[in-house]
Amino acid sequence: MEAYLYKPLKEKKVKCTLCSHRCIIKDGKRGICGVRENRDGILESLVYGRLIAKHIDPIEKKPLFHFLPGSISYSIATVGCNFKCLFCQNADISQMASDHNGMIIGDYCSPKDVVDAAEKGKCKSIAYTYTEPTVFFEFAFDTAKLAHERGIRNVFITNGYMSSEALNMISPYLDAANVDLKAFTKSFYKEICGAKLEPVKETLKLMKKLGIFVEVTTLLIPGLNDGAEELKELALFIAGSLGTETPWHVSAFYPTYRLTDRPPTPVESLVMAREIGIKAGLRYVYTGNLPGDNGENTFCYSCGKLLINRLGFSIIKNVLEKGRCPYCGAQIDGICL
- Which residues are annotated binding-site positions? 81, 85, 88
CA distance 168 to 142: 15
In angstroms and rounded to an integer, the radius of gyration of the C-alpha atoms of the chain is 20
* Known binding residues for [4Fe-4S] cluster: 81, 85, 88
Amino acid at 227: G
Q: Which residues of 133-143 are buried (b: 16+ CB within 10 A; e: fewer)?
A: bbbbbbbbbbb
Nearest alpha-carbon partner for 240 in 199, 192, 189, 204: 204
Number of H helices, E strands in the chain: 9, 18
Please count the other Cβ atoms lying within 10 Å of the Cβ belonging to residue 289: 21
The answer to whether the beta carbons of residues 17 and 163 sit under 8 Å apart is: yes
* Beta-carbon contacts of residue 151 (< 8 Å; ≥ 6 apart): none
Helices (H), the chain: 91-94, 96-99, 111-120, 137-149, 164-170, 186-188, 198-209, 228-237, 267-279
Amino acid at 223: G
